[in-house]
Copies of this chain bind each other. A is one copy, B any other.
């Protein structure tokens, strides 16, 4: 019996073992003269499974050898066999927007801690790129998707309803697909209340992209407040364009030219607000001194600007984490529902200016 053991082990280890290269379940099994299926069950992590499969002593032997050889299971083999990749695809408008980078950090870290593996791609908010990315994700056999670039257009809704891969929306919502968002309407409302309390009645809004729930609702929350307060904002003073600083600059130039009586501007994005600062400066206006300005997102830079920017802070990192958790919940086929987080107004110098004309 002993000789048989030696012979068998020796024979196999010559042909199968590759000491220098990565070890496999089979090579470990051969070393130990134990069947590969037993080794598999022991090394799968689940203690109950391991106990069913082998004796205490054998379990120890297997684990010891695995540790010695630094065995790591081949993920491709596992994916092939189990038909799940543990891969999560994430699509965002632009990773170089710090908000998205931060959301992705939350996603990635949570995925990692749950044994999943995330990757991210830019779609630049362009439908054709979004479609290409989706096809690629499918080709890679992702288990699930987190979509940060949803539009509220019928095309997007239609597209999402046809998607066969489990997914959740992040930051932006659309239709009533599962999503993790921040309460943008409430944020807009907070900004409005803040400016209103300081006497501002002649206000304008830089609304960001019209096709996104964030652009829409951050704007609506603001205008709804003013309407309910009896001071509806004329439509022409609400301009949608994009979320970047150039859009903010150009929009502000238009606004300042068209409405000289303006005392405050609310931009639904900090970058747009920073662009607005530039335009104000060119027009001889100092934010916080001769005009109030409120942004949105609380970019780390907002507090570091020469004139620190009042803004709404979203818990974006948490948003990423929650999105990943929600997706995992969905993948486990447990009942799950959309999450809405709360923004918080951070008041700084840029909105210190008080309108004189209180009614």
A148 within 8 Å of B by Cβ? no
If over half of A's interface residues share one DSSP class (helix, strand or loop), that class is named, otherwise mixed; here it is: helix
Q: Is A108 an interface residue (CB 8 A)?
A: yes
Please determine whether B74 and A141 come into contact, CB atoms closer than 8 angstroms.
yes
Q: Are B101 and A95 in contact (CB under 8 A)?
A: yes
Contact of A211 with B by CB under 8 A: no
Report the bound CA distance from A285 to B213 in whole Å. 42
A304 at the interface (CB under 8 A from B): yes
Q: Are A95 and B104 in contact (CB under 8 A)?
A: yes
Kindly supply a per-residue 1/0 record for chain A positions 81-97, scoring 1 wherever the CB is within 8 Å of any chain B CB and 0 otherwise: 00001000000001111
Within the complex, what minimum Cβ distance (angstroms) separates A92 from chain B?
A: 10
Question: Are A139's CB and B301's CB within 8 A?
Answer: no
In Å, the complex CA distance between A306 and B273 comes to 12
A187 at the interface (CB under 8 A from B): no
Partner of A274, one of B73, B249, B304: B304
Q: Once the chains bind, are A122 and B96 in contact (CB under 8 Å)? A: no
Bound state CA distance, A102 and B96, in angstroms? 6
Asked whether any CB of chain B lies closer than 8 Å to the CB of A79, the reply is yes
Assembly CA distance A277 to B306 (angstroms): 7
Chain B nearest Cβ from A269, distance in angstroms: 13
Q: For residue A77, which residue of chain B has the nearest CB?
A: B80
Q: Is the CB of A117 within 8 A of B101?
A: no
Whether, in the assembled complex, A76 has its beta carbon less than 8 Å from a beta carbon of chain B, the answer is yes
Partner of A105, one of B95, B104, B117: B95
Instruction: Give the copy number.
Output: 2
With A101-B101, A304-B278, A306-B277 known as contacts, the answer to whether A141 contacts B75 (CB < 8 A) is yes
Can you name the residue of chain B whose Cβ is closest to the Cβ of A140?
A: B75
CA distance A139 to B74 in the complex (A): 7
Residue of B nearest to A81 (CB): B76
When the two chains form the complex, which single residue of B75, B104, B275 contacts A304, counting CB atoms closer than 8 Å? B275
Is the Cβ of A122 less than 8 Å from the Cβ of B108? yes
A8 touches B (CB below 8 Å)? no
Taking the closest CB of chain B, its distance from the CB of A206, in whole angstroms, is 14
Question: CA separation between A305 and B77, bound complex, in Å?
Answer: 52
A101: nearest chain-B partner, CB-CB: B96
CB atoms of B301 and A138 under 8 A apart: no
A341 at the interface (CB under 8 A from B): no
The answer on a CB contact under 8 Å between A108 and B121 is yes
A153 within 8 Å of B (CB atoms):
no
| CB proximity of A257 to chain B, nearest CB, Å | 20
Contact code string A114-152 (vs B, CB < 8 Å = 1, else 0): 000111111000000000000010111100000000000
Q: Which residue of chain B has its CB nearest to the CB of A73? A: B139
Residues of B contacting A102 in the complex (Cβ-Cβ under 8 angstroms): 96
A117 CB contact (under 8 Å) in B80, B140, B305: B140
Asked if B121 and A119 sit within 8 Å, CB to CB, the answer is no
CB atoms of A139 and B275 under 8 A apart = no
A306 & B304 in contact (Cβ 8 Å cutoff): no
Smallest CB-CB A-B distances: 9 pairs: A76-B79, A96-B101, A72-B139, A119-B119, A76-B80, A76-B76, A245-B304, A95-B101, A96-B102
Residues of A within 8 A of B (CB): 72-77, 79-80, 85, 94-98, 101-102, 104-105, 108-109, 112, 117-122, 136, 138-141, 245, 249, 271, 274-275, 277-278, 281, 300-301, 304-307
